[in-house]
Structure 1
Amino acid sequence: MSASTIPTIDLSLWRTGDAHSRERLAMAVDQALGRAGFLLVTGHGVHPDLPAAIRTAARSFFHQPDDVKLPFLAEIGQYGWSGPGAVATGRVEGVKTPPDLLETWSVAPGAYDATAEPSQPSDSSEPGLLPTSWPRQTPQLRPLLARYVRSMRALADELLELLAAALGGPLDLFTRHTTCPDWTLTLNWYPAVHTTGAPRAGQFRVGPHTDFGTLTVLDRQPGKGGLQIHPEDDGWQDAPYDPEALTVNIGDLMARWTGDRWRSGRHRVLAPPVDAPAEELMSLVYFYDCDPHTVVESLPAPIGRVAHPPVTARAYVRSKVAEIALRAHP
């Protein structure tokens, strides 16, 4: 896969570069999102120690027996732990696939904005996060995730400004709709094959799909059973990996918003490899949408190419989530 298909965008150049450098970045973003819907992003400012600490804390939770995790079980559409058999993501494409081979811990905004700087000491709980119940075995998980979502929200808005520039619009073209946005952070734990058992035919860690919202920011680990993407006309390919980069893709709402000028990035995560039976991976996936009642309408020509019917952001995303949900209990 060529760098022109999935380019690496250095956000430090967007922040500090001259007009010509910013224009070149915006042009590269426009071209890449039209071909595959994916970017690699460096210069993002997230210190690697933070996702590493999150993985350590989350892994200690995921490795617990199911009866220990069961009190934190998320009902369908809610937040907390989802065990094996909860979703079949490929069904959003109309294919009746087996359940995905993963467990998740998901976080969303609580009663007030979790991205605000905490007013209490850093070792206290962060009241702005859902779920309301967290495992005592890993008390560090909640404050770590609170730090992470603060950095993700700031990064997502910065990326939306870059995307607006790529369309030649005002920088707040999208961020005027993110004053109190919906977002979800999901920790995807992909157990080893000795935990899941041999995959069934057509079974993946995450089945083929496009994301549902505006923007996804992914901190991932490479592996044999890792991420694949589907660029236009090129078929399935292993996603490029850079340990210093975050993987960014747009979702259905953004594709609709741009009138299909940009493609919602189709992707999947391969099944756990039988020839690497100890491989387990974890991804930190930040799904960024927009203000819940935003009506997403396709931008007109010459930017947009297809005029999609308007949709309301939260209602659209929730309808797609309902398509892949199977059950809450393991």
Structure 2
Amino acid sequence: MTESLSRIPTIDLRPWLDGGEEIRAALARTVDQALQTAGFLLVTGHGVESGLRAGIRRAAREFFLLPDEVKRRYEAKVGGRGWLGPGAEANGYAEGTHTPPDLKESLTFATDEPFADPVVDAQWYAPNVWPAEVPQLRTLCTEYLAKMAALEKELLSLLGYALGLERDFFTRHMDHPTYGFNINWYPGTEVVGEPLPGQFRIGPHTDFGTVTVLDRQAGKGGLQVYTDERGWADAPYDPAALTVNIGDLLARWTGDRWRSGRHRVLPPPADAPAEELMSLVYFGECTPGTRVESVPAPVGRVAYPPVDSHVYLRAKLDSITVE
């Protein structure tokens, strides 16, 4: 197995919440440096119980093991709510890497509160679709998503501070955010077949929004992160930690001071073809209509033209959809 990246630090959020200014400043420096290199962090002290995460995995696995004809009742398009079956996405398309479709299935959810604007609702709101066959999934995910929303705001507050800006620099744009939440199932070759040349569980890409919060499992066919100095290497793993990475929108917002972490999930390995993994992936976004303008120098390094956050996100989602 490839040596894991040592440039991705583990940070404990508890000193950020409870520590003094000197401790917070040291934490902010660590965060700033890490996000300039790999765009990834491991985060402990997040307050999300391991039992809740395990419960979601058990319930989701019950769903994924159902016959396809049952799962198809919940079929959705990329960016929608429901089941994304095999072949629905090719994440490498977003960066121009034309891989075969990703070797995964997903249950996908998003904001469950409508907006005041019917035009926004038409693009970004629909009721979540909860499989009747696993009724416990709704209760578990609702609790998990409330914790993710609170954690996302703490992380963005820390990130504003790490840039030397107001702590609400990002969070003020989070009054009514959209978000994405995917439960990604990566079964073995007995389900997906032998990988095609250049095929991955998730192809190489960067995420699209602000921050991504990932609860992952370690495996030979697991997460890899790309850096300029090392190329591809296995992401470090700590079962107590959540993996956090920067998305394209936030990288643009910081004027490329922080990089959007490029990553991929390897295919089922030849020496462990039955390996099965599951990831819980929360994609942070902001309130629709947010104007994202690059932070000026000396903090920012590139001045991108301003964009509407959700025009930008929609184009990204469309780019990975397999027609």
Q: Give the TM-score, by structure 1 length.
A: 0.92
193, 203, 224: which is aligned to 2:189?
193
Q: In the alignment, which residue of structure 1 is the partner of 2:83?
A: 81
> What's the counterpart of residue 220 of structure 1?
216
Per-residue CA deviations over 1:165-204 (Å, capped at 9, x if unaligned) read 1001110010010010110110000011111111000000
- CA-based RMSD: 1.5
The 8 Å contact of residues 93 and 209 in structure 1, kept in 2 or not, is answered as yes
Name the residue aligned to 1:176: 172
| Distance verdict in 2 for CA 1:130–1:218, change over 3 Å | farther
Query: Residue 322 of structure 2 corresponds to which residue in structure 1?
Result: 326
Q: Residue type matched to 1:154 in 2?
A: A
Q: 2:32 aligns with which of 27, 30, 33?
A: 30
Pair 1:131–1:80, CA change in 2 (3 A) = farther
- Report the counterpart of residue 109 of structure 2 in structure 1: 107
Structure 2 CA distance for aligned equivalents of residues 43 and 111 of structure 1: 29
Q: Which of 254, 259, 280 is equivalent to 2:255?
A: 259
Please state whether the residue corresponding to 1:318 is helix, strand or coil. helix
> Following superposition of structure 1 onto structure 2, how do residues 53-64 of structure 1 map, counting pairs within 5 Å?
53-64=55-66
Alignment pair present for 1:298 and 2:294: yes
d(CA) in 1 for partners of 2:267, 2:213: 22
Residue type of the alignment partner of 1:8: T
1:134, distance to aligned residue in structure 2 (A): 2.2
Whole-angstrom CA distance in 2 between matches of 1:111 and 1:21:
37
Q: Residues of 1 paired with 2:85 and 2:63: CA distance?
A: 12
Alignment partners' CA distance in 1, 2:293 and 2:28: 22
Give the letter aligned to residue 100 of structure 2. Answer: P
Stretches of structure 1 that go unaligned for 5 or more consecutive residues are 114-128
- Matched with 1:247 is 243
Larger displacement relative to structure 2 (225-234 or 98-107): 225-234
Task: Tell me, yes or no, if the aligned pair for 1:12 and 1:43 is still in contact at 8 Å.
Answer: yes
Q: How many residues end up aligned between the 2 structures? A: 312
1:94 aligns with 2:90: no
* Pairwise CA distance, 1:112: 4.9
- Are positions 1:133 and 2:129 aligned together? yes
Match of 2:201 in 1: 205
1:223/1:35 CA distance change after superposition, 3 Å: same
- SS state at 2:134 partner: coil
1:235 aligns with 2:237: no
User: Does the 8 Å contact 1:33/1:263 carry over to 2?
Assistant: yes
Paired position in structure 2 for 1:154: 150
- Asked if 1:72 corresponds to 2:68, the answer is no
What is the CA–CA distance in structure 2 between the aligned matches of 1:69 and 1:26, rounded to whole Å? 44
- Map Cα deviations across residues 80-118 of structure 1 (whole Å, 9 max, x no partner): 1000000111111112210000000011112359xxxxx
Query: Quick one: distance in 2 between partners of 1:169 and 1:111?
Result: 30
Q: In the alignment, what sits opposite 1:314?
A: 310
1:5 is displaced (CA, Å) by 1.3
- Compared with structure 1, are the counterparts of its residues 178 and 50 closer, same or farther at alpha carbon in structure 2 (3 Å cutoff)? same
Match of 1:135, as an amino acid? P
Q: For the residues of structure 2 that align with 1:112 and 1:319, how far apart are their CA atoms?
A: 21
